[in-house]
Amino acid sequence: MKLKQFRLSSNFTLYLKIMLPTFWIVFFGLLTGALFLVEAEDNPFITNPIVRYGLLIGFLIFLFIFYKTIMQLMRVDADRDHLYVSNYFKTYRYKLQDIKTIKEVDFGPILVIRLVLKQKGAFGDTIPFILNRPTFDDFIAHHPECGKYFVA
């Protein structure tokens, strides 16, 4: 008998992890590239080196920030015995007993959970995700014995 899986992470994760960075990188990457291809005679303001390199540095800084924050978010599902962690391309299974600690970061309406594993897994030893509170509460209601693993 297959156990029912509950999606603990928010659907907003897909938008934040895949769609937003893709559109942002394409738009600002093309804009930055276009600034370096425009001749100085066509538009002297945007071909000023301060504007060109300022936009390039800003693009690279935001790219780094995206990579270190929202692109690290994972999709997390759970059943009675396991966590299923996905980056939307690959999915790995971990036992609930492998959770070492849980850290919560509250951004108002968004609650980011960082699961710290006892041993390093395929995605590292920390798994960040945006909590979907209704399905998490439903998961705990169906499997109250699993609540001990999710105590911060």
Q: Which of 87, 80, 78, 82 is nearest to 124 (CA)?
A: 87
The answer to whether residues 54 and 66 touch, using CB atoms and an 8 Å cutoff, is: no
Residue ranges covered by each domain of the chain: 12-70, 74-150
Q: What is the spatial distance between Cα 95 and Cα 136, in angstroms, rounded to a whole number?
A: 17
Residue 112 confidence (pLDDT) = 94
Where helices occur in 1-152 by DSSP H, the ranges are 12-14, 20-37, 49-68, 133-142
Give average pLDDT by consecutive 10-residue segment, the chain, 152 residues: 84 92 94 85 76 92 94 93 93 92 90 93 93 91 85 68
Name which CATH class applies to 74-150: mainly beta
Confidence at residue 152, expressed as pLDDT on a 0 to 100 scale? 62
Work out the number of other CB atoms within 10 angstroms of the CB of residue 119: 8
